[in-house]
Amino acid sequence: MTPHTLPKLSYAYSALEPYIDAETMEIHHAKHHQAYINNLNAAIEKHPDFGDTTTETLLRSLGSLPEDIRDVVRNNGGGHFNHTFFWKIMAPPKESSWPEGILTDAISKNFKTLDNFKQLFTKAALGRFGSGWAWVSVTSLGGLEIHSTPNQDNPITEGLIPILGLDVWEHAYYLKYQNRRPEYIENWWHVVDWSQVSESYSKAIESIRPHSA
């Protein structure tokens, strides 16, 4: 059995300043994310059969997990997966950054303009009452869907493949933005790593494309 561990960030806690402050990043990563991992590992210890199962597989098959750990895995396996994903789709702010490759075409096709795409995403992030996430996911038919989930629920459980996600729990922004979630969302676009998101999109499309014989 291999316990789940906290992934290292590929940038410093201060690297997303001034949009996301170093103190928030450190607490978010070293305390909140670590807590999800500790809780997940404690649950898996009760069912060593799942000791080497990835969080992705756990989340995809939540319904078939033993009932006594299902909710713990949903919340903490979700928390572990979501945060690991979140750290990867952010990067230090660049002067300009845009979607690349086939993602550019998909955004045009589904949302006409990048501005419109951002507006719809912002609406999803603002509309999530309480704690949760806003997502852009690839559907089983290859379309793009903007949606949100409560708590630490993840699109994978719904059969979707997330390519972009924003944590709108207060712990993600309260130190710097207090109750100003709209300002947090607006500033967050500066630290989105579009090359990562574009790559995830390409991989997602590749994975759902029917394989020819």
Residues engaged in binding Mn ion (CB under 5 A)? 167, 169, 172
Q: How far is the CB of 11 from Mn ion (least distance, A)?
A: 17
Q: In what order do the strands lie in the sheet with 161-167?
A: 144-150, 132-138, 161-167
Q: How far is the CB of 151 from Mn ion (least distance, A)?
A: 11
Which CB, 50 or 169, lies closer to Mn ion? 169
Which CB, 59 or 106, lies closer to Mn ion? 59
Residue 98 in tokens? 């845009």
Q: How far is the CB of 82 from Mn ion (least distance, A)?
A: 7
Which residues, in sequence order, are CB contacts of 15 under 8 Å at separation 6+? 91, 92
Alpha carbon distance 164, 53 (integer Å): 23
Which CB, 117 or 184, lies closer to Mn ion? 184
Q: How far apart are the first and last CA of the chain?
A: 37
At 140, phi and psi to the nearest 5? -65, -20
Q: How far is the CB of 114 from Mn ion (least distance, A)?
A: 26
Which CB, 153 or 167, lies closer to Mn ion? 167
Which CB, 167 or 193, lies closer to Mn ion? 167
Give, in order, the Cα–Cα distances in Å from 160 to each of 106, 168, 201: 16, 20, 12
Beta bridge partners of 148: 134
Q: How far is the CB of 129 from Mn ion (least distance, A)?
A: 17
Whose CB is nearest to Mn ion?
Answer: 167
